[in-house]
């Protein structure tokens, strides 16, 4: 059979796609909505807050390069899952999978609801939007995302390009307006930057909190581990994309924050629920309604990418024998349709049952645990398998910096506000063993799953992917 007609995840994504992919993953609603956290924990010291943004960019670069080693050494789609399985064994990998099943559903549900809130709010200028239309819009957006993902990765390229242009265009507009106001030299615009460090200097604990606020806005740099098996020449493409996208994002973030403090006072920024909206209302009042739609469009692209990424985890877990065979089937567009369908369905349930969305903060705590474990795994594998083919190796100080940040993200919530909810999260994480022991360890077969796989193959026109030697062999120099 001609290789072009094979049903499989193909290596057809290049440098341009990768840069767009990374920009979309990192730039979410945070920079548009609420950069106030950094300023608040910086004691409204503008100079310190800008320095923290720059430091967060460096920290984001270090963690991105750490995950780049995983994606390059193991160029699978869902490489981080495969990496955990190789480093720590089948049971730990299953717990990682078990966690991602629910965190992915919660994350896409919260993004869809936030998208709906900003999309519908301009129609309710004097009050909060009702819950029913908000949920309906969120569900509609989520299922549209599912349809787009079922069309394959290549079909999403145009959406990525449009989203990147939109995000960078809005941030560029905010940045250039701020630069223009500084150049004009109005006293009230220049004064805050001239006296940037005059405010009270924050304590070390406050600086750490501010770093976490800014670091969250830069999160997403490890996204290439989800699609490493679909990138052309991942050993070259991944580092090039990181060194292109992150400096660009850093420059835009810093200029946008300078623009915010040029137009608004620190106290106005802290009291604003959506800084970009407040900024627009002050500079160009007639266009204030555009910003919420821009935030919705930004979140839509993030939603598309999140569904794509979570489907890849289910796909490789099925290939590794930890999920039923149906999750590794592909449709004619080489998309893991059943995996996408599961994510969309679970996300829809989370939207309807809004109480589940309140668990997201605690599920992010679980994600931090797995991030720390992945970073420890890099060290473990360096020691256990020193001769493993690694076209790229992260600089060890970068690895230790990323581990320190991840460890703090795990420990600080426990120390700062110890709650039983974190114990519940750990118990939930370990509850995956109730399924692992009978189904994976003792290999109990569920006959009805096999029958269901056959029915789904006929219903959705899906099949087991063709055999391919591309996934691990194409690491061409």
d(CA 41, CA 62): 23
357 token code pair: 């969305």
pLDDT given at position 72: 93
d(CA 168, CA 128): 29
d(CA 334, CA 336): 7
d(CA 170, CA 149): 26
User: Kind and range of the H or E element at 203?
Assistant: none
| Residues of the chain by 3-state class (helix, strand, coil), percent to 5 | 75, 0, 25
pLDDT given at position 476: 41
199 token code pair: 């405010």
Q: What is the full DSSP assignment across 367-412? A: HHHHHHHHHHHHHHHHHH-TTS--S----HHHHHHHHHHHHHHHHH
Q: For residues 448, 450, 453 and 454, what is the CA-based torsion angle, rounded to 10 degrees?
A: -100
> What sign results for the dihedral spanned by CA atoms 204, 207, 213, 219?
negative
Decide if 45 contacts 202 (C-beta within 8 A).
Answer: yes
Could you report the average pLDDT of every consecutive run of 10 residues in the chain (477 residues)? 60 88 85 78 87 91 93 89 92 92 85 83 73 89 92 79 84 86 70 71 81 82 88 91 94 91 85 79 79 79 89 90 87 87 91 62 75 93 89 91 86 74 82 91 79 81 67 41
Sketch out the chain's domains with CATH numbers: 15-318+336-416 (1.20.1740.10)
Token match 């080693």: residue?
A: 69
Residues facing 13 on adjacent strands: 231
d(CA 96, CA 328): 18
Burial 430-464 (b: 16+ CB within 10 A, else e): eebeeebeebbeeeeeeeeeeeebeebbeeeebee
Size of the chain in residues: 477
Which of 145, 131, 98 is closest to 351 using CA atoms? 131
d(CA 349, CA 370): 25
223 token code pair: 């996204």
Residues facing 330 on adjacent strands: 463
Looking at residue 432, the DSSP 8-state letter turns out to be T
Which of 259, 173, 196 is closest to 51 using CA atoms? 196
Query: Which residue pairs from 468-473 have beta carbons closer than 8 angstroms and sit at least 24 positions apart in sequence?
Result: 468/6, 468/8, 470/8, 470/10, 470/11, 471/9, 471/75, 471/76, 471/229, 472/74, 472/75, 472/76
3-state secondary structure of 214: helix
Burial of 154 (0-12, 13-18, 19+ CB in 10 A): middle
477 token code pair: 């120099």
d(CA 97, CA 340): 15
| pTM beyond 0.85 | yes
pLDDT given at position 358: 53
Tell me the residue ranges of DSSP E strands in 186-343.
none
Token match 């629910």: residue?
A: 102
40 token code pair: 């608040």
Decide if 432 contacts 99 (C-beta within 8 A).
Answer: yes
Which of 28, 297, 306 is closest to 166 using CA atoms? 297
Per-residue pLDDT tens digits for 31-49 = 776 688 888 888 888 888 8
Question: What is the longest distance spanned by two Cα atoms in the chain?
Answer: 75
Whole-Å CA distances, 51 to 32, 38, 43, 224, 398? 19, 10, 13, 28, 19
Decide if 72 contacts 238 (C-beta within 8 A).
Answer: yes
34 token code pair: 């609420």
Token match 């969305």: residue?
A: 357
């Amino acid at each position: 059979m001609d290789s072009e007609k094979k049903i499989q995840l193909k290596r057809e994504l290049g440098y341009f796609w990768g840069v767009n992919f990374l920009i979309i993953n990192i730039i979410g609603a945070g920079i548009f909505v609420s950069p106030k956290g950094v300023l608040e924990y910086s004691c409204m010291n503008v100079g310190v807050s800008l320095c923290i943004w720059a430091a967060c960019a460096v920290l984001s670069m270090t963690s991105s390069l750490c995950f780049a080693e995983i994606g390059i050494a193991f160029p699978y789609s869902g490489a981080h899952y495969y990496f955990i399985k190789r480093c720590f064994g089948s049971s730990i990998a299953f717990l990682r999978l078990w966690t991602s099943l629910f965190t992915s559903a919660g994350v896409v549900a919260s993004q869809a609801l936030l998208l709906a809130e900003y999309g519908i709010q301009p129609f309710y200028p004097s009050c909060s939007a009702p819950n029913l239309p908000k949920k309906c819009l969120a569900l509609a957006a989520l299922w549209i995302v599912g349809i787009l993902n079922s069309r394959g990765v290549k079909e999403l390229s145009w959406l990525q390009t449009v989203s990147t242009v939109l995000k960078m265009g809005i941030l560029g507009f905010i940045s250039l307006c701020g630069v223009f106001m500084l150049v004009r030299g109005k006293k009230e615009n220049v004064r805050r930057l001239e006296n940037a460090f005059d405010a009270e200097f924050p304590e070390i604990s406050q600086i750490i909190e501010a770093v976490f606020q800014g670091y969250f806005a830069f999160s997403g740099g490890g996204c290439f581990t989800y699609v490493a098996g679909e990138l052309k020449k991942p050993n070259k493409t991944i580092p090039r994309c990181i060194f292109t996208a992150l400096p660009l994002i850093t420059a835009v973030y810093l200029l946008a924050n300078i623009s915010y403090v040029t137009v608004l006072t620190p106290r106005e920024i802290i009291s604003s629920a959506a800084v970009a909206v407040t900024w627009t209302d002050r500079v160009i009042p007639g266009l204030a309604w555009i910003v919420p739609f821009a935030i919705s469009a930004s979140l839509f692209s993030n939603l598309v990418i999140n569904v794509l990424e979570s489907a890849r985890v289910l796909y490789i877990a099925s290939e590794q024998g930890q999920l039923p065979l149906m999750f590794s089937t592909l449709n004619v567009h080489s998309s893991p349709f059943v995996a996408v369908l599961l994510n969309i369905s679970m996300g829809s349930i989370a939207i309807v049952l809004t109480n589940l969305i309140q668990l997201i903060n605690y599920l992010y705590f679980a994600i931090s645990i797995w991030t720390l474990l992945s970073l420890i795994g890099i060290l473990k594998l360096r020691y256990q398998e020193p001769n493993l083919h690694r076209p790229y190796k992260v600089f060890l100080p970068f690895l230790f910096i990323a581990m320190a940040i991840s460890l703090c993200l795990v420990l600080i919530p426990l120390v700062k506000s110890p709650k039983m909810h974190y114990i519940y999260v750990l118990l939930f994480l370990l509850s995956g063993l109730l399924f692992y022991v009978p189904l994976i360890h003792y290999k109990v077969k569920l006959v009805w799953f096999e029958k269901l796989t056959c029915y789904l193959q006929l219903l959705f026109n899906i099949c087991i992917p063709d055999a391919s030697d591309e996934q691990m062999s194409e690491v061409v120099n």
